[in-house]
Amino acid sequence: MRIVILETGLFPDRQTVEGAVAWLEEDLAAHSLSRHDVRGHILTEQECDGLLDAILTADLVVTV
């Protein structure tokens, strides 16, 4: 499963979500994870394109 993790700082219960993500990361053979920190900075056009590609090809997108 392709999982994209968007670190936005918007999720009110970040600890619970981080625990679930850590559990997924333990089994990397079954999952492909990519993290994207979008907190506090403006993305370049190239970064936006890469992020959009990651989101569009993901099976699951998680926001923390």
The reported pLDDT for the residue numbered 28 is 66
The reported pLDDT for the residue numbered 19 is 83
Provide the residue range defining the domain that includes 33.
2-63
The total domain count for the chain is: 1
Q: Report the alpha-carbon angle 32-12-41, nearest 5.
A: 65
The model's pTM is: 0.74
CB contact set of 11 (below 8 Å; sequence gap of 6+) = 17, 63, 64
Per-residue pLDDT of the chain (64 residues; tens, 9 = 90+): 888 988 888 877 778 878 877 877 776 677 788 888 888 888 899 999 999 999 999 998 988 8
**Full DSSP string of 1-64:** -EEEEEE-S--TTHHHHHHHHHHHHTTTTT-EEEEEE-SSSPPPHHHHHHHHHHHHH-SEEEE-
